[in-house]
Every structure is written in structure tokens, then in C-alpha cells.
Amino acid sequence: MDLSTKYLGLKLRTPLVISASPLSEDVDNLKRMEDAGASAIVLYSLFEEQLRQDRLELNKNLQQGTDSFAEALTYFPEPDEFRLGPEEYLKHIAAAKKATRIPIIASLNGSSAGGWTEYAKKIQEAGADALELNIYYIPTDMNLSGAAVEDTYINILKAVKSQVTIPVSVKLSPFFSSFANMAKRLDQAGANGLVLFNRFYQPDIELETLEVKPNILLSTPMAMRLPLRWIALLHGRVNASLAATSGIHRASDALKMLMAGADVTMLCSTIIRHGIPQIAMIERDLVDWMEEHEYESVSQLKGSLSQKNCAEPAAFERAQYMKALTGYSLAQA
């Protein structure tokens, strides 16, 4: 069975790629993922905001209370050097490359114009095969227009592309007024891949303590419906590779995404929940299904049910509330 696919110009053995998660902080995990059959790994994100926060926090804690008592002018020793830049992340890229033979895709979340380009260059120098821009922020400013938000994305992409030669993908949220137009603009600005979609950690309210708490939930297969639709709509209409992420837990989920038009399917929650061997299980089930249904290769089925190729293109556009809802009847108490 030929499971090979191409993503960001990289030839991959299978479409099963591991998306950014804390699991990739450990080089041993990366090796285990490769052994289990991962065809590429996106490393956890380098957050510029976090680096800045660490610097501020450290400075604050080194200074805290030092003006209070003459007897103690400091409360901590000051080592010669604190490594508060991206050094650890860059070292990790190098270690990941050394430990594995599969492509390693770095992930970057900048928070300043200079940060995006400076870190992107360093990431390339550290040996990453590609770079995923994780443009992750919630535009809460009421004076910021949608057009300005979109321009920010395009400007970041262009700035990074001008500094690096490795392929660059953009991981996006679905929250744009006209997502199709946004995808087209990113494609034209030189994105080598679009990763659909980023899952934002949504805050929750704790009723007993009356506090707002970030509630980190693993995805469920239901989460794949949104990227499935947009991948099906974009397949064949943009040059950029398409990566499906969110809610891919089983081989059947991966198959659906591939048929919609994804070049790769990214796994995360299912591995956190079931462990790294789950990658091999999904690959085995994928092959079994394809053999049973007499497919020869991933490229054969890729996009076969995209909007362009499916029998009912309107199905991806219509909301179809009435039809969907009339299928239900009132539950009996």
C-alpha cells in the first residue's frame, strides 16, 4: 500500500503527522513517535510572549523586596548568565534532528514584528525542515477592524518568508469573516501550507469558586467537522498544502480528511489519551480499510470527496438545518 504523500514540498511516508503538543518536549518521545510510524513531527511552539514574560518575571523576582530591609539587599544569587532566549528551543530542534530521520517542523508564535523574523531565521539555522507559524491571538480590541487583523497575518507571513528558505505553513483559526478569501490571500502571499484549524483553549466558569479558569480539553472526533468542510472547499483551489488538525482520533477520521482533500492529517489528542503506539494502530487500520475497499494509494483517494470531486458540491455549503433537524424526534421522558 502506498501511503506516501507530499506536504510543504516534503515527501512523507504516510499522511500521519504529529501536531504540536507538550509530548514533543522530550526527545525520547520523538524517537518513539518515529518508531510508531509518525511521518513528520511538529514540535511544541516557541512562544515569544512566554520568553518575554519569563524575563519580566525573573527580573521582578530578583528585585522583589530588595528595598525593604537594610540587612538584605538581595534575596537570590545572580548567576553569570540566564538563558532566557530561544536557546533551549533551538537546541531541541538540533537534538530532534539528530535523534530522528523524519522531517521536523518547528512551530513559532511571535508577539512582536521583530520576534517573528528573528526567531524564524534562528529556527532555520538550527536545522528545522519547515516552520509552522502559529498565529495565535484573540483580537479583543474593539477599534481593530477585521481587515487590519487579516493584514497582520499576511504581513507576518511575508516578513517570515523573506527571511527563510525552508517551507512555511500557517496554522489558522476559523474565525475570519471570509475564510476562503483569507486562505487565498495567504496562498498568494507564499504560504506553503495551511493548517486547519487551531484549537483555542476556551475559558470556563467554575461555579463553586466563582472563578474563570482556562479549561484545557482534549479534542473529540466531533471537532473534525469544521476543518473537514474547509479542506473540502479549499482542495484544488489553493497551491498551498492542506493539513487537517482537530478531532482526528481514528483511521476513519484520517480517511475522511484525506478524501476531503488534506495532504496530511495531524494527530495530538488521541496520542495524549491512548499513548504513542496509537500512531501504529491508526496506520494499520488505515491500510486495512484501504485494502478492503481496494484503494492502491493515498494519492488515489486524496480529495476524492472534496467539493470539486464529490457528487453533491452544495452539501459543503448548505447549512441544511431543517433536513438535519427533522431527523430527530423528541426524546421520551
Partner 1 sequence: MEVCPAKNKTEAKLKAINMRPQAPLRAAEHDNWNFFLGLPEVDRRKIKPGTLRQQQLLQPLFEFSGACAGCGETPYIKMVTQLFGDRMVVANATGCSSIYGGNLPTTPYATNKCGRGPTWCNSLFEDNAEFGLGFRVSLDQQKHFAGELLKKLAPQLGDDFVTAILTADQGDEAGIYSQRERVEALKKKLPAINNAESKLLIPLADQLVKKSVWIFGGDGWAYDIGYGGLDHVLASGQNVNVLVMDTEVYSNTGGQMSKSTPRGAIAKFAAGGKPAGKKDLGLIAMSYGNIYVASVAMGAKDEHTLKAFIEAESYPGPSLIIAYSHCIAHGIALDQGIGAKQQKLAVESGQWLLYRYDPRRTERGENPLQLDSTAAKAKVSDFMMSENRFKMLTKSKPEDAKKFMAQSQVEADRRWKFYQFMSQRDTKVENAPVPAPKPTTAVDA
Of residues 20, 35, 39, the one with CA closest to residue 298: 39
Residue number, 73 or 322, with CB nearest to partner 1: 73
Angle of the 251-260 helix axis to the 278-292 helix axis, nearest 10: 60
Q: Lay out the site mask for partner 1 across 83-122 (x = CB under 8 A, - = otherwise).
A: xx---x----------------------------------
Residue number, 35 or 57, with CB nearest to partner 1: 57
Residue choice 4, 52, 54, 176 for contact with partner 1 (CB under 8 A): 54
Residue 18 CB, nearest approach to partner 1 (Å): 22
Residue number, 80 or 312, with CB nearest to partner 1: 80
Q: Lay out the site mask for partner 1 across 57-76 (x = CB under 8 A, - = otherwise).
A: xx-xx--xx--xx-xxxxxx
Residue 26 CB, nearest approach to partner 1 (Å): 10
In sequence order, which residues have a C-beta less than 8 Å from that of residue 122 and are 6 or more positions away? 86, 90
Residue 203 CB, nearest approach to partner 1 (Å): 14
Map the footprint of partner 1 across residues 240-299, applying CB under 8 A: none
- According to DSSP, the residues that pair with 10 across neighbouring strands are 7
Residue 143 CB, nearest approach to partner 1 (Å): 25
Binding footprint of partner 1, residue count (CB under 8 A): 24
Residue 213 CB, nearest approach to partner 1 (Å): 13
In angstroms, the CA 312 to CA 327 distance is 20
Residue 22 CB, nearest approach to partner 1 (Å): 12
In angstroms, the CA 255 to CA 244 distance is 11
Of residues 289, 279, 174, 277, the one with CA closest to residue 231: 174
Residue 50 is a binding residue for partner 1 (CB under 8 A) = no
Residue 77 CB, nearest approach to partner 1 (Å): 4
58 close to 84: Cβ distance less than 8 angstroms:
yes
Residue number, 50 or 300, with CB nearest to partner 1: 50
In angstroms, the CA 322 to CA 166 distance is 47
Residue choice 11, 53, 56, 82 for contact with partner 1 (CB under 8 A): 82
Residue number, 35 or 204, with CB nearest to partner 1: 204
114 close to 51: Cβ distance less than 8 angstroms:
no
Map the footprint of partner 1 across residues 170-229, applying CB under 8 A: 210-211
- The DSSP line for 89-141 is HHHHHHHHHHH-SS-EEEEEE-SSHHHHHHHHHHHHHTT-SEEEEE-------
Residue number, 60 or 101, with CB nearest to partner 1: 60
Residue 244 CB, nearest approach to partner 1 (Å): 33
In angstroms, the CA 138 to CA 119 distance is 22
Residue choice 77, 216, 292, 326 for contact with partner 1 (CB under 8 A): 77
Of residues 266, 301, 309, the one with CA closest to residue 42: 266
In angstroms, the CA 128 to CA 119 distance is 12
Q: Which residues would be at the binding site for partner 1 (CB under 8 A)?
A: 54, 57-58, 60-61, 64-65, 68-69, 71-77, 79, 81-84, 88, 210-211
